[in-house]
Every structure is written in C-alpha cells, then in structure tokens.
Amino acid sequence: MASSKGSRLRGKPLRFGGDRIFEYTVMGVATLTLALVWLLVVRMVFDAQLSIERFGFGFLIGGDWDPNRDVYGALPFIFGTLMTTGIAVLIGVPLSIGIATYLSELAPPWLKGPLSFVVELLAAVPSVIYGLWAMYALRPVMVDTVEPFFQSALGWTPLFQGDPVGLDKFTAGIILAIMIIPTIASVSKEAMMAVPDSQREAALSIGATRYETTRIAVLTYARSGIFGACILGLGRAVGETMAVTMTIGNANRVSWSLLDPGQTMASLIANNWGEAQGLQLSALIEVGLVLFVIALLVNAFARIMVGRFMSRVPATGGGL
C-alpha cells in the first residue's frame, strides 16, 4: 500500500526536503485535473441555463426542434439515440457473447492469443473510418439486400415502413453494433477467463457437455462481468458521433420506422454546432449535458457491475 500513512514508525514519517516539493507538485497537478473537470461541467451547465430556464423539463419530451421559431426539444434525438443503441445492443450482445465464449472456452490454444488480439484491434479503428466504410460498403448491402428483406418479412410492423434508402437508423444501428462488439467481447472474455477452473471442473465431473459446462458454470459465474461488459458497450454506443452522423440521414423528427432517417443527440451536435447561436446554442449544449449525464450513469453502472464481479473473484487472484 502507498505508505504515506503506512510507515508509521515511532513519531512522524521520515521526510526529506525534496519530498515536500514533489508531493505538492504532484498534488497540484492532480488538483488541476479536478479543477478542469469542474470547469467543464460548470461551463456546460452554465451555458445550458438559457435553454433550461426556457423549456424546463419539457425539453426532454419536446418533439420540435425548430430554429425558425426558436423552439427546441430533445425528444427526437433521445429517441434516435435509444433506437440506434437499442439495435446496436440487440445485435452486438449475442454476437459478442458468442465470440467471448469461443475465445475463452472453445478456441484451440494456438488460436486464442492471435484472435483475441485481432478482436481488441477492432476497437482501435477510428470511428470516422467506420463511417466512411459504412457509406460505401455497408450502405449498398443494406439497400440492396438487408432492408428489402426485413421490409418483406416485417413490413407490416411500424418498424419497417418507408423506402429503404440506406441512410437511416437501421444502418446507423448496425455500424454501431460492429463498433461495440470488440468492447463487449473483450471484457466478457476476460470475465469468463477469470472464472476459476474449479467451477468448470466441477461441472465436467458430473458429466456436463462443454456447452452445458459453459452455460452452468462459466456464464452464470461471470454474468455480472458480462453484463457490465454489455453496459460498457452501451456506453460507447451512446456517445458515438462520427459513424452515426455519416449514416443516419439527419432528420430531426421522431419516427418509429427503422428505415426512416433520424438523428441522435451526438449527431445533432455535430451537425448544428456551427450555425447555433443564442438560444439554439444553449439548447444544443443542454442536449450535450443530457448526453453526458446518460453516458456517466451508464458507465458508472457498468463499473458497479464489473466491480461486483471482481469482488466475487477470490483473493487468490482467480486461479486455483
């Protein structure tokens, strides 16, 4: 343990001259970080004041974003964020858990390392490149194959109305799914690998198949870690800007159809920051504040989930 309190010899801890300077320097910089965060949050709340006072709570359920009448409401964008992240999680989570399972339980040892490596690498690709790829590689596939398929199968639901043009919440959701898979898969894989072998062996010893062992012993044991991983992925999807801006079709209204263009909170800011002044800028910053709070809550929840898993891991560090 860091021993500022620990080296409690008789009397005061031993101190050299340089110690004080160093400690204060380091503490000073740490305070700087703290001050920075404070500054940013305060600035954000302050700048959003105008909009908060004008619209109050109605901002969150207001469906109108109209610079011409100076009326702003965040509902279309909260809705867009929810829909796109919903798709991303719906598609991403099962795939990620499958990947994590494979990497943790089923992969031959020579494959495990390189494959994990490759999956982690996917997380490092900048999002603007995902967006570029989505425009020219994903979109044609969506327009020609995927969206017509869903429309023919599920066109009777309100989710698949309208013309498949490819620049819509569905495409944005899919590129988001691709982007969060590495995150969820990597952390889930770690959670699963941290499950003590004793659990697996216990299941195997009573005659469970590989699949059953995984289901009973590993997934159950690691479930809060996996859940935390999913929330982490969700947190990433919520704040994602570039790839979404480039694929979502930029329409500031609520629409239930996945094939309709939409807008998320992040893409709204990216699109409108330049032209926003006065009340519109304040409303935009308020949207940023909402986005920030959501990201904060989601990630805090993820940490708790992962943290809870961690405390389950016995003090021996996870091995037998």
Partner 1 sequence: MSELEETKGSQNGDQIVMPHKGGRTWIVVAALVIAVGVILAAVLSGGLLSSGHRKDSVALTGAGATFPMPLILKWADEYYNKTDNTVKINYGGGGSGAGITQIKDKHVDFAGSDAPLSATDSSTYGLVHIPETLGAVVVAYNEPGLQTLRLDGPTLAGIFMRNITTWNDPAIAGLNPGITLSSDQITTIVRSDSSGTTFVFSGYLTVVSNEFATLYGQGKSVSWHDAIGANGNPGVTQTIKTTQHSIGYIELAYAIANNVPFAQLKNHDGNFVNASLETTSAAASSATLPAGDGDWSHVNILNAPGASAYPIASFTYVLIYKELYNDQSKMNKTAAKALVDFLWWVVHQEGQSYAPDLYYAQLPSSVTAINEATLNSVTYNGKTLR
Partner 2 sequence: MNTYEYRKLKNTLASGLALACVILALIPLVYILAGVVVKGAPALSWEFLTNRTVGTGEPGEGIGNAIVGTLLLVFYASMIGLPVGILTGIYVSEYGNNKFGTAVRFFNDVLANFPSIVVGLLAYALVVAYLNVGFSLIAGSVALSIIMIPIVANTTEEALRMVPNSLREGALALGVARWRTVLKVMLVSGRAGIVTGALLAIARIAGETAPLLLTAFYSSYWSFSPTEPIASLPLTIFRNYNSPSEVLLQQAWGAALVLIIIVLTLNIGVRLFMRQKTKKSKAVRMRWMTRLSRRD
Question: Considering the rule CB under 8 A, would residue 108 count as an interface residue with partner 1?
Answer: no
Q: Going by C-beta distance under 8 Å and a sequence separation of 6 or more, which residues neighbour residue 47? A: 281, 282, 285
Q: Which of 270, 264, 240, 241 is nearest to 252 (CA)?
A: 264
Within 39-68, the residues that bind partner 1 by CB under 8 A are 66-68
> Which one of the spans 10-18, 34-42, 198-206, 243-251 is the region binding partner 1 (CB under 8 A)?
243-251
Q: Residue 165: which of partner 2, partner 1, none does it interact with, CB under 5 to 8 A by kind?
A: partner 1
Binding status of residue 319 toward partner 1 by CB under 8 A: yes
Which residue type occupies 226?
I
Residue 89: CB minimum distance to partner 1, A: 25
Choose which of 191, 261, 284, 290 interacts with partner 1 (CB under 8 A): 261
69 vs 108, beta carbon nearer partner 2 = 108
Hey, which residues between 61 and 90 contact partner 2 (CB under 8 A)?
none
Residue 278 sits at φ, ψ, to 5 deg, of 55, -125
Half-sphere exposure of 288 (CA within 13 A, CB side): 22
**Judged by CB under 8 A, does residue 220 bind partner 2?**
no
CB within 8 Å of 132: residues ≥ 6 apart = 246
Q: Does 124 participate in binding partner 1 (rule CB under 8 A)?
A: no
Does 250 contact partner 1 by CB under 8 A?
Answer: yes
Which of 10, 11, 12, 33 touches partner 2 by CB under 8 A?
A: 33
x/- track of binding to partner 1 for residues 221-240 (CB under 8 A): --------------------
Contact (CB, 8 A) for 125 and 251:
no
Work out how close the CB of 177 gets to partner 1 at its nearest, in angstroms, rounded to a whole number.
22
* 163: contact with partner 1 by CB under 8 A: yes
- Assign residue 272 a region (left: φ > 0; alpha: ψ between -120 and 50; beta: otherwise): alpha
Q: Does 103 bind partner 2 (CB under 8 A)?
A: yes
Q: Minimum Å distance from CB 197 to partner 2? A: 11
Which residues in 167-186 contact partner 1 (CB under 8 A)?
Answer: 167
Rg (CA), the chain: 24
2 binds partner 2 (CB under 8 A): yes
Q: Is residue 198 involved in binding partner 1 (CB under 8 A)?
A: no
- Residue pair 185/119 in contact by the 8 Å Cβ criterion: yes
Instruction: Give CA–CA dist 51/19, Å, rounded.
Output: 49
Our CB check for partner 2 shows the closer of 71 and 141 to be: 141
Nearest-approach distance from CB 212 to partner 2, in angstroms:
7
Distance of CA 285 to the CA centre of its chain: 20
Please name the residues in contact with 262: beta carbons below 8 A apart, sequence gap of 6 or more: 76, 79, 80, 83, 84, 168, 169, 172, 248, 249, 251, 253, 255
Question: Taking the complex as a whole, how short is the minimal distance between the CB of residue 272 and partner 1, in angstroms?
Answer: 7
Number of shown-chain residues binding partner 1 (CB under 8 A): 30
Out of 4, 110, 316, 320, the residue judged to bind partner 1 by CB under 8 A: 316
Residue type present at position 58: G
